[in-house]
Structure 1
Amino acid sequence: MHRDVPLHVSSAVGGIVKRALEENTANGRVPDVNEEVFWILHTGGRGIADGVEGRLGLREEKLAATREVMRQYGNTRSSSIFLVMEEMRRTSGRKGLRTAGEGLEWRMLIAFGPGLTLETMLLRALPSNNTTA
């Protein structure tokens, strides 16, 4: 990966995330990115995680699942989004949280790919009584 990729990803992510949250939440009220949204970030490397975290003003623990998957599997797995979701589900289950997404309702999934495409998906978590299954 080119050394400038983290800079390009972090530069673009702020506007994309803001627009996704504004356009897809009820009553025009944008969820707080640290208190009401959990984050699933493609494991593209520490530079990307640090850049996204800094650009969005995320607390360190918001990308904990992404960083754990990077620690376990490295940065090059195309299935990393699913691994991050599974890590988050396991952690939420151990803590007995209301949803598999850190107990929160909103999920922001961010991935990137060839030609430096940046993709986002805003998801909504349903409450679950069994997040460990």
Structure 2
Amino acid sequence: MKLLLQIFTWWNEQTIGTRFHTWRHGQRVGQDELGNVYYQGGKDSEGRTRRWVIYNGYAEASAIPAGWHGWMHHRTDVSPADEKYTPREWQKAHRVNPTGTANAYRPQGSIAATGKRPRVTGDYDAWTPGS
């Protein structure tokens, strides 16, 4: 069943193409606290070492912690697995992306929000054709 999911869906862990590329070129670099596994190998179109992640569960880009995000985007050559990475005091802990859930941000006046939209004040002039 897991193989069928990987063949027909791209959002479940890894696709067959990613599995093949990982088998052929991948060198495991490390794993984060969420269970995502990071690899590198081969070259990208700019000549840099290609880096990728195989997610633990659904492919959700916001599920990459800050230290690994920097490594994935070539901001550093040292992975968090190779150094004693500690987040800075201003870095927040990971939160799951709430888009599409009841916890999603809904600004005042949104159809999905409660309450009413604030009344327009005199600081706005609507555009009219020919003006």
| TM-score computed with the length of structure 1 as normaliser | 0.28
Larger Cα-atom Rg: 2
- Which structure exhibits the higher relative contact order, with contacts defined as CA atoms closer than 8 Å and separated by 6 or more residues? 1
Higher helix share: 1
